């Protein structure tokens, strides 16, 4: 059952004067998925005079979004009449729902632009082409381990990179790129193939490592009579590396399965580095260990500065 909210909060919000959006042909935006990313996009764009329609399977999420003033109206199901008045649809769900959503858009002959925020771009690109949709793939390099509408932040994307990756036509590419610039992001372009290869190293591999570290601790606990030892002595480094383990489970299941080939390649290279470092440690060669650590520090400093 769809739910259209016409609460007092919603009406008052619509009366506020906001700076007019510069993307003239885009007025109504439907955002499917009101978690941290979807909610943050909504919270940002509604302040720029876009009319935001939110879609979430939970009525409680729609209610919270209305109360927070980050959508103009909300529904719990996709309907043709909802999408008919949307110039742009942004999919902000986990990757596993893309096929179903894009198939629905195809069946209703949706003529607007479709975009997303997913961490794997080839799947979105291929499905959109299959259904002959007008599309622009997008991946904002932002977000935290937190999830849900409660973690939405209109400033989440400010000065962060947004990768535009795969598009049906130049006009749509220009429109979506401009929207991300309005949001506050630095827009760059790359092919879906290149995107998925790079992100396997810069985003997906770090999560593989984080999950593995957490499971390593579990194994140690099962073999240790003092079950909670590592909990008491966990330093900042352990907390930092395992923080992202709290990210949404469904999201990472889909990322791992949809970019498995590239992630597998990244993990193999990482394993080679771990094996080499272990060899250095066992050699007790302080000079070589020092050289290795200093080399890693140089790379780390470049990453931190960005």
Q: What is the mean pLDDT of the chain?
A: 89
Residue 306: per-residue pLDDT = 62
Helix axes 260-283, 192-199, angle to 10 degrees: 30
Output the CA–CA distances (angstroms, integers) from residue 146 to 120, 143, 256, 283, in the order listed: 20, 8, 19, 41
**Both tokens assigned to 233:** 């002595």
Question: For the segment 238-284, what is each residue's pLDDT rounded down to a tens digit?
Answer: 888 888 999 889 999 999 999 999 999 999 999 999 999 999 999 99
Nearest to 32 by CA among 73, 79, 78: 78
Q: Is the predicted pLDDT of residue 16 greater than 70, yes or no?
A: no
For 182-192, what is the mean pLDDT? 98
Asked whether the beta carbons of 209 and 219 are under 8 A apart, the reply is no
Residue 186: which of 195, 177, 194 has the closest Cα?
177
Rounded (5°) CA angle 18-184-126: 110
Structural domain spans, the chain: 8-189, 195-305
Question: Is pLDDT at 45 greater than 70 in this prediction?
Answer: yes
pLDDT value at residue 6: 42
Rounded to an integer, what distance in angstroms lies between the CA atom of residue 31 and that of residue 41? 8
Would the pLDDT of 49 be above 70? yes
Q: Which two tokens stand for residue 175?
A: 């429109």
CATH topology for the 195-305 domain: 6-phosphogluconate dehydrogenase C-terminal fold (1.10.3660)
Q: What is the CATH number of domain 8-189?
A: 3.40.50.720
Q: Please list the residues that pair with 29 across neighbouring strands.
A: 52, 88
pLDDT for the residue numbered 144? 77
pLDDT digits (tens, 9 = 90+) for 135-177: 999 999 998 777 889 989 999 999 999 999 999 999 999 999 9
Token duo for residue 122: 């080839």
List, in order, residues 6 or more apart from 299 with CB less than 8 Å away.
none
Phi, psi of 16 (to 5 degrees): -65, 145
- Are 117 and 138 within 8 A, CB to CB? yes
User: Which of 152, 83, 94 minimizes the C-alpha distance to 124?
Assistant: 94
Q: Look at residue 30 and tell me whether its pLDDT is greater than 90.
A: yes
Q: What's the predicted TM-score (pTM) here?
A: 0.86
Q: What value does the mean pLDDT take over residues 176-199?
A: 98
């Amino acid at each position: 059952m769809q739910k259209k909210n016409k609460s007092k909060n919603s009406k008052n919000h619509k009366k506020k004067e906001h700076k007019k959006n510069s993307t003239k042909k885009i007025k109504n935006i439907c955002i499917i998925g009101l978690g941290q990313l979807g909610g943050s996009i909504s919270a940002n764009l509604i302040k720029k005079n876009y009319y935001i329609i939110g879609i979430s399977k939970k009525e409680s999420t729609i209610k919270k979004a209305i109360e927070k003033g980050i959508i103009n109206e909300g529904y719990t199901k996709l309907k043709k009449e909802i999408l008919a008045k949307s110039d742009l649809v942004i999919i902000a769900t986990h990757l596993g729902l893309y096929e179903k959503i894009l198939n629905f858009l195809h069946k209703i002959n949706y003529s607007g632009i479709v975009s997303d925020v997913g961490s794997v771009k080839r799947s979105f690109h291929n499905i959109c082409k299959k259904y002959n949709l007008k599309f622009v793939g997008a991946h904002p390099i932002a977000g935290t381990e937190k999830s849900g509408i409660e973690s939405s932040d209109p400033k989440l994307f400010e000065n962060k990179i947004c990768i535009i990756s795969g598009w049906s036509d130049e006009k749509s590419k220009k429109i979506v790129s401009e929207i991300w610039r309005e949001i506050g992001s630095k827009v760059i372009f790359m092919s879906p193939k290149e995107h998925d290869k790079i992100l396997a190293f810069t985003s997906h591999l770090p999560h593989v490592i984080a999950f593995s570290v957490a499971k390593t601790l579990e194994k140690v606990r099962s073999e240790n009579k003092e079950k909670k030892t590592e909990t008491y002595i966990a330093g900042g480094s352990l907390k930092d590396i395992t923080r992202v383990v709290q990210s949404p489970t469904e999201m990472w299941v889909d990322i791992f399965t949809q970019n498995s080939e590239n992630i597998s390649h990244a993990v193999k290279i990482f394993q080679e580095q771990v094996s080499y470092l272990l060899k250095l440690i066992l050699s007790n060669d302080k000079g070589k260990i020092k050289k290795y650590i200093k080399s890693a520090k140089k790379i780390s400093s470049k990453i931190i500065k960005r």
